[in-house]
């Protein structure tokens, strides 16, 4: 310390001078010599007390400053017994205690926030000051298909494609709803927080699929029940009246009677067709809970191939099976799962129309079933609306097939998706292991 060195230099110089003067006076008056020596001893004692009361506390405080510089807030200073330095030491100790408390609170809050982010089902993407990726929580890693350690420090825009490409264009405070694979629905929200006085952005990815599907299901169940009730009542009454009217054909001439009967039969047939049309919708509402039992999916797929073979041959579609070597036993409702596979296969055939291929694959670890077709592919609008209830891109379609598939697979707890693969072919996947 500069103050200590200056103080010691001054004290040493002063006492050397006093000692030298004492020796000069020894030849003239020995009493002056002993008096000066006594003064030097008293001065050394006083100097020591001053050093202890003033310089030592400064050294202790200097050590405390070094501890603060090293961010070590565990050290406190023992009081010296001197009132003035002890007041300074007391202030220092209170400051250290406050810093230690603040640091502990900050660490606990940081630990809690880190645990909360990692455990959250909402995807969290935190950006750094340069708007590059700083952190993805596990939910965001799953949604984006990226590992946080691999993408840290990289820009966001090359890593998000398709519907999620909007994440790089969103402004602070903006919220958007994004559809992925026609199945998963996410609300994306961009905001910011202050970090050391600078704004940093983050993005929240909240999945709304279950909530929206549940709302849709309740809505269309209510509508279908009401429509089915009214249509069935009307169809039954109208058909009864039409059959009664047929009794009057005997009052007509033969030629008029035949034409009369033909017209009435057409009306009855169209009326019955309307009833069947509504019955198809009602089937979606009436799906019972699955009665699960263990069954080899390969056996079900072989039966499906036999069922679809004639249709595929007539359209010149090549059906190829690529099954894993071991048995593929799944806990499922066999009848419902058969209905799912038939609908997937029919959609693939209709998408190809003529001259193409359908590949059916199974794989383990995890257990996945894939239907890959070389059809017309998924349009941009269709890709986001695929599993919307009763949506269809077919001219004569009712949009029931995919809705039925969604309901059955959801009831079974199986994950699924429908998208274009890396070969730009349409691929329907059912993931049995979660």
Distances in whole angstroms, Cα of residue 333 to Cα of each of 291, 294, 300, 303: 5, 9, 12, 16
Question: How far is CA 294 from its chain centroid?
Answer: 32
190 lies in some domain: yes
Question: In CATH, what number is assigned to the domain containing residue 191?
Answer: 3.30.450.20
> pLDDT tens for residues 14-70?
777 777 777 766 667 666 667 777 777 877 777 777 776 666 667 777 777 777 777
Tokens 């750094």 belong to which residue? Answer: 128
Which of 207, 229, 260 is a domain's end point? Answer: 207
> pLDDT tens for residues 202-258?
999 888 777 766 666 676 666 666 666 667 777 777 778 777 877 777 777 777 777
On whether both 16 and 62 belong to a single domain, the answer is yes
On whether both 413 and 321 belong to a single domain, the answer is yes
Whole-number Å distance between alpha carbons of 355 and 378: 18
Whole-number Å distance between alpha carbons of 47 and 15: 10
Domain count, the chain: 4
Closest CA relative to residue 80, chosen from 104, 53, 118, 103: 53
On whether both 311 and 244 belong to a single domain, the answer is no
On whether both 259 and 380 belong to a single domain, the answer is no
Whole-number Å distance between alpha carbons of 340 and 53: 90
> pLDDT tens for residues 361-370?
999 888 999 9
pLDDT of residue 382: 52
Whole-number Å distance between alpha carbons of 277 and 226: 14
On whether both 192 and 103 belong to a single domain, the answer is no
The residue range of the domain holding 184 is: 120-207
Three-point CA angle 6, 9, 14, nearest 5°: 125
On whether both 166 and 234 belong to a single domain, the answer is no
195 lies in some domain: yes
297 lies in some domain: yes
31 lies in some domain: yes
Enumerate residues 6+ apart whose C-beta is below 8 A from 197.
Answer: none
Q: For the chain, what percent of residues have pLDDT higher than 90?
A: 10
Strand order in the sheet with 123-127: 133-136, 123-127, 198-207, 184-195, 175-180
On whether both 338 and 309 belong to a single domain, the answer is yes
On whether both 383 and 273 belong to a single domain, the answer is no
74 lies in some domain: yes
pLDDT of residue 322: 92
354 lies in some domain: yes
Helical residues (DSSP H) of 76-147, grouped into ranges: 83-119, 138-144
On whether both 307 and 419 belong to a single domain, the answer is yes
On whether both 162 and 221 belong to a single domain, the answer is no
On whether both 315 and 426 belong to a single domain, the answer is yes
On whether both 26 and 39 belong to a single domain, the answer is yes
115 lies in some domain: no
Q: Where are the beta strands (DSSP E) in 174-304?
A: 175-180, 184-195, 198-207, 293-296
Which of 285, 319, 349 is a domain's end point? Answer: 285
153 lies in some domain: yes
Which of 285, 319, 340 is a domain's end point? Answer: 285
Whole-number Å distance between alpha carbons of 177 and 162: 13
Three-point CA angle 149, 151, 155, nearest 5°: 150
DSSP state of 162: G
């Amino acid at each position: 310390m500069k103050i200590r060195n200056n103080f010691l230099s001054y004290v040493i110089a002063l006492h050397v001078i006093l000692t030298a003067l004492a020796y000069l006076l020894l030849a003239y008056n020995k009493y002056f010599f002993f008096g000066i020596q006594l003064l030097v001893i008293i001065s050394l004692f006083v100097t020591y007390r001053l050093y202890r009361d003033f310089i030592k506390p400064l050294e202790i405080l200097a050590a405390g400053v070094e501890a603060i510089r090293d961010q070590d807030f565990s050290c406190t200073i023992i009081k010296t017994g001197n009132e003035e330095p002890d007041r300074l030491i007391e202030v220092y100790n209170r400051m250290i205690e406050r810093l230690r408390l603040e640091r502990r609170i900050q660490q606990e809050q940081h630990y809690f926030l880190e645990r909360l982010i990692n455990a959250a089902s909402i995807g969290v993407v935190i950006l750094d000051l340069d708007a590059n990726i700083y952190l993805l929580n596990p939910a965001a890693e799953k949604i984006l298909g990226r590992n946080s350690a691999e993408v840290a420090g990289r820009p966001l825009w090359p890593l998000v494609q398709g519907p999620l490409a909007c994440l790089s264009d969103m402004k602070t405070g903006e919220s958007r709803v994004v559809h992925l694979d026609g199945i998963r629905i996410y609300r994306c929200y961009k905001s910011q927080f202050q970090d050391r006085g600078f704004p940093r952005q983050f993005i929240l990815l909240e999945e709304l699929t279950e909530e929206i599907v549940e709302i849709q299901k309740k809505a269309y169940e209510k509508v279908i029940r009401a429509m089915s009730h009214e249509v069935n009542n009307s169809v039954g009454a109208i058909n009864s009246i039409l059959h009664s009217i047929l009794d009057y054909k005997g009052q007509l001439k033969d030629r008029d009677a035949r034409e009369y009967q033909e017209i009435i039969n057409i009306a009855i047939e169209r009326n019955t067709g309307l009833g069947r049309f509504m019955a198809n919708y009602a089937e979606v509402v009436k799906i019972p809970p699955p009665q699960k039992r263990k069954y080899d999916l390969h056996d079900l797929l072989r039966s499906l191939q036999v069922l679809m073979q004639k249709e595929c041959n007539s359209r010149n579609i090549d059906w190829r099976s690529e099954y894993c070597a071991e048995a593929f036993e799944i806990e499922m409702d066999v009848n419902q799962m058969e209905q799912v596979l038939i609908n997937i296969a029919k959609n693939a055939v209709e998408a190809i129309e003529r001259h193409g291929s359908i590949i059916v694959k199974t794989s383990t670890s995890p257990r996945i079933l894939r239907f890959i077709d070389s059809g017309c592919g998924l349009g941009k609008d269709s890709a986001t609306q695929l599993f919307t209830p009763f949506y269809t891109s077919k001219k004569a379609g009712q949009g029931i097939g995919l809705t039925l598939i969604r309901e059955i697979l959801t009831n079974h707890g199986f994950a699924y998706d429908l998208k274009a693969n890396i070969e730009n072919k349409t691929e329907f996947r059912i993931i049995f292991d979660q």
